[in-house]
Amino acid sequence: MSDLASIYLDNAATTPMDEKVLEVMLPYYKNNYGNPSSVHSHGRNAREALEKARKKIASLLNASPGEIVFTSGGTEADNMAICGAISTFGIEHIITSPLEHHAVLHVAEQVAKEKNIRLSLLECDAEGNLNLDQLALLLEKEPNSLVSLMHGNNEIGNLNDIERIAALCNKHGSYFHSDTVQTMGHYPIDLKSLPIHALSGSAHKFHGPKGVGFIYINKNKKINPLILGGGQERNNRGGTENIAGIIAMAKALELAYNNQASHAQEILQLKVYFKEKIEKAIPGVTFNGLSGNLDKSLYTVLNVSFPPSENNQGMLLFHLDLEGISVSGGSACSSGARLGSHVLNALQTDPSRENVRFSFSRFNNKAEIDHVVKTLAGLYQA
């Protein structure tokens, strides 16, 4: 049972580290601190641990170890995929969507501007459904394109049909990258059956440490490195590897995959419970994007649109924080931005309503949900 004086429901921003993950991480700070590029015994021990972690992650994803490149996180992996594909294959057209994480959207905009590359943003409806027929038409027109579309949206929870997107890209010979930061460790991803060229993952989204991630790069679609240096990561990414973080990430992903079905069911039940309770407690609540659709959204995310309130007047997040409840109004990376969520803006949500993203993990429980709903109901009482 958690301390109800402090409740964390912002797991789409980051997750608490599993104790088992911390246990395997600490020895690589205390004793096994060698540089994996060194040839002495300390270095060789670190190299052995590094390659074991790479093989573990590759095995879980049904990929080859040489297709896994370690990075500082999802943002670097996204940047590497986009910039690398463009420089390697001479791509002159980028296709993405207005709902992508800024790690994709901002780099696509910047590269398009600097290199005079055409940028197309797919249309979406009020629920955030992307127009994949438009994608097919764009690919027919310009087959040598880069497509970067996320698997699961970090704000509204929408799940994109990456199997269909991958099939379209392969049909037209285009490069497909997917930001799978929100789905990695939460959904099975089999890279032998999914014809994708690159995807991004970040450890802290599946109960690993911050500051470490990876990119999968299909062995038949190798790309130029983003960071040059001493030739680490088989010349794919310069810089001394974060051994402790990588060991921990492999352990976190292993734990996630070993218990995927049970964790998914457990967290989905919490989401359903919260959705039903909040609908009864506060008349007029709705759900942004497809987050209220249990079949088409992340089981970890529920983005709630609250009716206008004289009590809160734009201060709902602040009031919840005072009550010890940590949630988000959107992506954590933009939570302080005056313009608000670019995702909710793209959906043209009603500006008079307050939007809160509640995101769940296996470390949450129903007692916490009850307390949060009771607190919210109190904030909406006249």
By annotation, the residues acting in catalysis are 333
Residue 278, amino acid: I
Exposure string of 51-62, with b = 16+ CB inside 10 Å and e = fewer, is eebbebbbebbe
Query: What is the DSSP secondary-structure string of 89-138?
Result: HT--EEEE-TTS-HHHHHHHHHHHHHHT-EEEE--B-TT--B-HHHHHHH
Distance between CA atoms of residues 238 and 122, nearest Å: 34
Q: Measuring CA to CA, which residue among 246, 147, 267 is closest to residue 201?
A: 246
Exposure string of 242-262, with b = 16+ CB inside 10 Å and e = fewer, is bbbbbbbbbbbbbbbbeeeee
Structure tokens at 14: 């980051």
Helix axes 102-115, 74-89, angle to 10 degrees: 30
Which residue shows structure tokens 């990430």? 249
Q: Are 123 and 134 in contact (CB under 8 A)?
A: yes
Number of other residues whose CB lies within 10 A of the CB of residue 122: 19
Number of other residues whose CB lies within 10 A of the CB of residue 163: 12
